[in-house]
Amino acid sequence: MRTAKPGDRVTVNYIGTLDDGRIFANTNEEGALEFTLGAEEVFPALEKAIIGMQPGEVKNIVLAAADAYGLRSEENLLKVSRNAFPAEKSPEVGKRLTIDFADGASLLMRIVEMTDEYLVLDGNHALAGCELTFALRLDKIEPC
């Protein structure tokens, strides 16, 4: 039977969970994931774990935070004056917003703290710092 190798287009279904058992992604709800092994469309550590699998094979794959969305970084926190926030917007903790920087870059950030004087925005990915577990089934391999 054929095994997955770099360059193959694969279709996988998975349930992704965190250490506490919470589900962060589920292809039963979102649809199967299709990607080309080696094309860096998913985490390299996930690709590496799929290489050598056969269609129908099931595997639990655990990715350390550094191999997934990375570690949380204090450098990705931004403290801004409450006055800098547009008056027509109503900030709330947990609300996500896109911040445009002077160099033309944009970053999706989440409000994590608010006072009367300032807001603290977090640019870390919501899953940064989290170990991710994938209960994965390789459904299909298409050679390229």
Identify whether the C-beta of residue 108 lies closer than 8 Å to the C-beta of residue 96. Answer: yes
In this structure, the chain runs to a length of 144
Left, alpha or beta for 139 (phi > 0: left; psi -120 to 50: alpha)?
alpha
* Statement to judge: residues 13 and 28 lie in one domain: yes
What pLDDT was estimated at residue 104?
Answer: 87
* Statement to judge: residues 15 and 57 lie in one domain: yes
Owning domain of residue 31: 9-70+127-142
Is residue 100 predicted with pLDDT exceeding 90?
A: no
pLDDT 10s digits, 13-63: 999 999 999 999 999 888 999 999 999 999 999 999 999 999 999 999 999
pLDDT 10s digits, 104-127: 888 889 999 999 999 999 999 999
CATH number at residue 42: 3.10.50.40
Phi and psi, residue 138, nearest 5°:
-85, 115
* Statement to judge: residues 26 and 40 lie in one domain: yes
In a domain, 2, yes or no: no
